[in-house]
Structure 1
Amino acid sequence: MDGTGNDSTGNDGARERWVRTGGIELCVAEWGDAAQPTVVLVHGYPDSKEVWSEVAARLAERFHVVLYDVRGHGRSTAPVPLRGGFTLEKLTDDFLAVVDAVSPDRPVHLVGHDWGSVQSWEFVTVKRTEGRIASFTSMSGPSLDHFGHWIKERMSRPTPRRVGQLLGQGAKSWYVYMLHTPALPELAWRGPLGKQWPKILQRIEKVPTVDYPTSSLPSDAAHGAWLYRDNVRARLLRPRPDAYAHVPVQLITPTGDAFLSERLYDDLGRWAPQLVRRALPAKHWVPRTRPDQLAAWISEFVTANDDAGGPAGAALMVRESPAPGPYAERFGGQLVLVTGAASGIGRATAFAFAEAGARVVAVDLDAEGAARTADMARLIGAPAAWGEAVDVGDEQAMEKLAGKVAAEYGIVDVLVNNAGIGLSGSFFDTTSEDWRKVLDVNLWGVIHGCRIFGRQMTERGQGGHIVNVASAAAYQPSRALPAYSTSKAAVLMLSECLRAELAGQDIGVSAICPGLVNTNITATARFAGVSDEEQKRRRKKSSRLYGLRNYPPEKVADAVLRAVVRNQAVVPVTPEARSARLMSRFTPGALRAIARLEPPL
């Protein structure tokens, strides 16, 4: 008889119960307050519910979180016989039994990864689940029906591009063919593959394996082979024509997924009219490698679709909410800290990230300017923004800032070390105090940011990106800029070294090298060895020259976002910066000759 078994408490504090359905028992774990909206997390292959433990712990602070071991996995029992026991219809029966047990009077918010997402697409597209699901977040698992139509359309109307897409996904799906072979997958998983799997995940996917995978992995993987055998061939050959999602859908696409092409989702808007898309620079096992970001996006989506008074109203609310920027899918909800954000390139960069839906921490020595940038960032599209005042050259102040940011806003996903000051004058006119001021901000400010915030990124173990704003002066010598050029050359080399060190931890490092950009750095730059009156004259003249050049800081900000998305190492921005970069590599003698010229001041 179907029903619910006795409750118990697990070692991790979760409340456990067993739900009986279709002759099997499903192990169900619950966290959080049952009075809050219910979020059901469905695991994939060859996982058990523990793949979600990091995400569940974060979501449980706000929601009633439910995990269950899919039939034949973890502590749930397997059907007898196995063949025919894992069809999507039976998996839907299991889901409804769990939902009726944990949230009988209120629709749930569904989240699926890998095969958990594949079966969840079935749940949100069949009529018998209507009214039981409020929203669906999908990651790394397409609908088999949508996949079948995707294949048929490309085979019926082939073009070179479409054929390439088919071949590309075919190569990524090598494991599907292997899982259809008789007995071999079971022997492999119960033998050497099962023993080596944790090491494989750690080496290839960078998955922390402290409490995952569990000891049930060999049997989970052996049983789970029938997920593929019972469903894949039948659905791809005869996909349902009515597989339309009846709930709002959030699609999270790991851009480095080794098993699924991003092109699979090109036509998804046709099947899921209420669709929000996100892109995450990560590999396949994002529940283990990116729990913070997933928890933030899931929380945002659940809240929007629960408080709006039902799926229809909620869908409208969610569809209008994403920021309008071109990188909104990539940066939405991420935490970005920008130094030197009160004006110029820093302010433009903060605004660009805000437009992409990121949460922004605007940092500057000018407290009022940082606050103004934060206020405007919220108006532009940032879900949250804060202004913080700090001297980036003060190590203790930066340590204190990092502690406050981590405690109140979270760990930074993208750090932009932009703060800088200008200094012009001959080497012998540049005093030791001048050198200290320039190096404290331009170099030590970058070092402090990279060391303090970069360490937080590495300790979190979920990747990130560091952007250091250098200058074309880093590789373009000038008789008038010895201190400034030295500081920026050091920033460029620091970025290259740090990029090599952090590559294995999925933390990218980019050096941005603008040329002449129309910012207020010319109004604050100092000229060594001249009178106050001459100082004013030169500032005014340099400001006029930069104004005539009129290269806007917004273009540098665009280059910053592109550098993060593409994980670029060194990015010369302006035409003169790109030309000088080429000359430094191919005609350095000519560049040295130009360096001897007297500047037009």
Structure 2
Amino acid sequence: MTIRRRTVHSGGVPLAVYEQGDPARPTVLLVHGYPDTHAVWDDVAADLAADHHVVRYDVRGAGASGAPAGRDGYRLARLAADLAAVADTVSPERPVHVVAHDWGSIQSWEAVTEPGAHHRIASYTSLSGPSLDHIAHWTRHRMRRPTPRHLRQLAVQGVHSWYITAFHLPFLAPAVWRFGLARAWPRVLRDLEHVTARPGHPQPTLARDAVRGIELYRANFRPVLRSPRERSTEVPVQLVTLERDRYVSTFLSEGLERWVPHLTRRTLDAGHWSALLERGSTVAGLVREHVARVAAGQTQGPPPEGRLVVVTGAGSGIGRATAIAFAAQGDRVVVCDLDLPAAERTAELCAALTPGAAAHRVDVSDGAAVDAFAELVAAEHGVPDVVVNNAGIGHAGTFLQTTEKEWQRVLDVNLWGVIHGCRAFGALMVGRGEGGHIVNLASAAAYLPAKSLAAYATSKAAVLMLSDCLRAELADHRIAVTAVCPGIVNTNITRTTTFSGVDADAQAAKQAKASKAYARRGFPPEKVAEEIVRAVRTGRPFVPVTVEAKAAHWLGRISPRLLRRAARLDVG
């Protein structure tokens, strides 16, 4: 897409401005930090330009923009005036949506908290750059009330902010940039941020711009921290907290609601620079969502539609109960089942509790079908926050009775169905970078052996181990994995369970007998759903449900030999 360049003058300083996308679309104004240029936004801008008018500029002293003559030219008021000048030039008729990172975010807070800013700025998304006034009040509050937690926070952030002190030392910081750090900057990003993309700054001008940018710190930190102002805003703000930021601690935003009544908090599993250089499409998605919400008049708190939850095998039983339980919390629910009318009925029940429920026919044993389902969900609803791999079938029979075809059917649904769901949706969650939760329905049979449940117990034991392995792999991405192991639950799985080595009449008789036994047990699927919802809230990795499931797990730990003896009993 063509990038158009123009020059905007502000306070006697020429600012290099870069535009792409349709000017008739909502304008998103991207403001870079230190020691970057507009190029650090390349990935974000390219993504947003598909449906927005995207504007970037090199801040004063950086890139192709001019530099002020002295330190006063770097004060926050001058920087805020630059943003206003660019906004007025590129979007004179409509307010702009500001997105800023690092020092770009610090200076944008100055503009956003100006009286009447909401007339010029429609929304603000801030990454890794707090308001200096807010931080000064945050610090003073903790020094006045020095609890152990407050003291720990002050100490941690003090260590993270070591470079600010260094930048105030005469001669040292400029010399470091000129004589080594500029050349080593790509390696620094690679080693500290694990960034493999371009560093986001033209190498020939990096040392010059970095030395100039030191004046940002010297012109603003001490004056503002000594005399902080009361800086509130009516602009809707989206604060994106970067979980692996080495410079801005997550707790620095505590109490921000005092200054920002229309605040939305989001988190991203990324570092200070990797958020832009390696997760540009994810950042663009957050911006796009925030802009759309503000346009719709939704300006405060978490996304009002709640989390997005996907439940497989939701046409009845535990799956239906789970979908309804999440819907009752206000979560959006997308369900699937091999029986489409049953799935649609579940969606109707969910829609009575919260809007946005949808139903699809999916055969979870078909990997391509699950992949297509995941892509459809992402395109129409977004990446899910919770996925419940519930779909499963019952089968009874000893090992020698169970045919290869029966083994294949049980493993295809009970194990491969979970594998397909974990892989398709897990990849989406990792790519989004905001964490999530995967719930896999195993069974007490996973650790309670029975000679008449060879195929079924094997499939569920595999699901339990898969969950343990996947939990370890996804932990760094803040994606939790829970294995839920119910015992005897009154669902229609008994009416569809197949039995090896018997004719049709005997099969029907066994199904009826099992259904009566499970009905007498009387444990409803709604109680399993409650445990699933609780596990997502608490992050529990393993949840045995029902007394017999808990007892079997306990017995397996204290006397596995007794458990193996019990496996010889006939349970079918």
Q: TM-score, normalised by structure 2?
A: 0.86
The one-letter code matched in structure 1 to 2:520 is R
Q: Residues of 2 paired with 1:50 and 1:422: CA distance?
A: 56
Change (3 A) 1:269 1:462: closer
1:26 to 2, 11, 15: 15
Q: Residues of 1 paired with 2:253 and 2:391: CA distance?
A: 40
State the match for 1:571 in structure 2: 542
Stretch deviating more after TM superposition (422-431 or 355-364): 355-364
1:513 aligns with 2:484: yes
Change (3 A) 1:323 1:357: farther
CA contact (8 A) 2:282 2:432 kept: no
The one-letter code matched in structure 2 to 1:111 is V
CA contact (8 A) 1:39 1:63 kept: yes
State the match for 1:271 in structure 2: 259
Q: Residues of 1 paired with 2:246 and 2:46: CA distance?
A: 27
Change (3 A) 1:398 1:277: closer
Q: SS state of the match for residue 7, structure 2?
A: strand
1:494 aligns with 2:466: yes
Q: SS state of the match for residue 391, structure 1?
A: coil
State the match for 2:146 in structure 1: 158
State the match for 1:417 in structure 2: 389
- TM-fit CA distance, 1:402: 4.8
What do the CA deviations read for 1:432-477 (whole angstroms, capped 9, x no partner)? 332121101011222333445556667x585765724333433343
The one-letter code matched in structure 1 to 2:314 is A
Matches within 5 A, 1:182-197: 182-197=170-185
CA contact (8 A) 1:323 1:355 kept: no
State the match for 2:404 in structure 1: 432
Change (3 A) 1:18 1:475: farther
Matches within 5 A, 1:387-402: 387-402=359-374
- TM-fit CA distance, 1:278: 2.4
Q: SS state of the match for residue 259, structure 1?
A: coil
Q: Residues of 2 paired with 1:197 and 1:379: CA distance?
A: 55
CA contact (8 A) 2:81 2:111 kept: no
State the match for 1:310 in structure 2: none
1:112 aligns with 2:100: yes
Q: Residues of 2 paired with 1:575 and 1:200: CA distance?
A: 53
- TM-fit CA distance, 1:176: 2.6
Q: Residues of 1 paired with 2:524 and 2:342: CA distance?
A: 25
Matches within 5 A, 1:173-212: 173-210=161-198, 212=200
- TM-fit CA distance, 1:155: 0.8
Q: SS state of the match for residue 138, structure 1?
A: strand
What do the CA deviations read for 1:83-133 (whole angstroms, capped 9, x no partner)? 333211110111111111111222222222222222221112122645212
The one-letter code matched in structure 2 to 1:484 is Y
1:287 to 276, 295, 298: 276
- TM-fit CA distance, 1:539: 2.0
2:510 to 528, 531, 534: 534
- TM-fit CA distance, 1:22: 2.0
The one-letter code matched in structure 2 to 1:270 is R
Q: SS state of the match for residue 230, structure 1?
A: helix
- Aligned-pair identity in percent equals 48
Matches within 5 A, 1:22-61: 22-61=11-50
State the match for 1:4 in structure 2: none
Q: Residues of 1 paired with 2:299 and 2:14: CA distance?
A: 36
The one-letter code matched in structure 2 to 1:394 is D
1:445 aligns with 2:417: yes
Q: SS state of the match for residue 514, structure 1?
A: strand
1:252 aligns with 2:252: no
What do the CA deviations read for 1:301-334 (whole angstroms, capped 9, x no partner)? 3234335xxxxxx3xx43388337xxx5xx5xxx
Q: Residues of 2 paired with 1:589 and 1:293: CA distance?
A: 51
The one-letter code matched in structure 2 to 1:31 is Q
What do the CA deviations read for 1:472-507 (whole angstroms, capped 9, x no partner)? 433343334321221122223334445556667x47
State the match for 1:322 in structure 2: 303
Query: What is the alpha-carbon root mean square deviation over aligned residues?
Result: 3.4
CA contact (8 A) 2:494 2:511 kept: no
Q: Residues of 2 paired with 1:47 and 1:546: CA distance?
A: 64
Stretch deviating more after TM superposition (94-103 or 587-596): 587-596
Q: SS state of the match for residue 35, structure 2?
A: coil
The one-letter code matched in structure 2 to 1:437 is R
Change (3 A) 1:494 1:200: farther
- TM-fit CA distance, 1:522: 4.0
Stretch deviating more after TM superposition (93-102 or 349-358): 349-358
Change (3 A) 1:364 1:41: same
CA contact (8 A) 1:518 1:552 kept: no
Q: SS state of the match for residue 185, structure 1?
A: helix
CA contact (8 A) 1:463 1:507 kept: yes
CA contact (8 A) 2:13 2:65 kept: yes
Stretch deviating more after TM superposition (134-143 or 435-444): 134-143
Change (3 A) 1:113 1:377: farther
The one-letter code matched in structure 2 to 1:439 is L
CA contact (8 A) 2:261 2:300 kept: no
Change (3 A) 1:79 1:267: same
The one-letter code matched in structure 2 to 1:525 is T
CA contact (8 A) 1:254 1:281 kept: yes
CA contact (8 A) 1:496 1:509 kept: no
Change (3 A) 1:156 1:478: same
The one-letter code matched in structure 1 to 2:35 is P
Structure 2 unaligned spans of 5+: none
Stretch deviating more after TM superposition (387-396 or 298-307): 298-307
What do the CA deviations read for 1:525-557 (whole angstroms, capped 9, x no partner)? 344456221221112212432527973313213
Q: SS state of the match for residue 442, structure 1?
A: helix
Q: Residues of 1 paired with 2:59 and 2:330: CA distance?
A: 35
Change (3 A) 1:321 1:146: closer
- TM-fit CA distance, 1:348: 5.0
Matches within 5 A, 1:297-308: 297-306=286-295
Q: SS state of the match for residue 428, structure 1?
A: coil
Count matched residues.
563
The one-letter code matched in structure 1 to 2:337 is D
Q: Residues of 1 paired with 2:104 and 2:381: CA distance?
A: 31
2:133 to 145, 148, 159: 145
Structure 1 unaligned spans of 5+: 1-11, 308-313
- TM-fit CA distance, 1:54: 2.3
State the match for 1:126 in structure 2: 114
Q: Residues of 1 paired with 2:74 and 2:478: CA distance?
A: 39
Q: Residues of 1 paired with 2:525 and 2:351: CA distance?
A: 31
1:236 aligns with 2:225: yes
Change (3 A) 1:546 1:261: farther
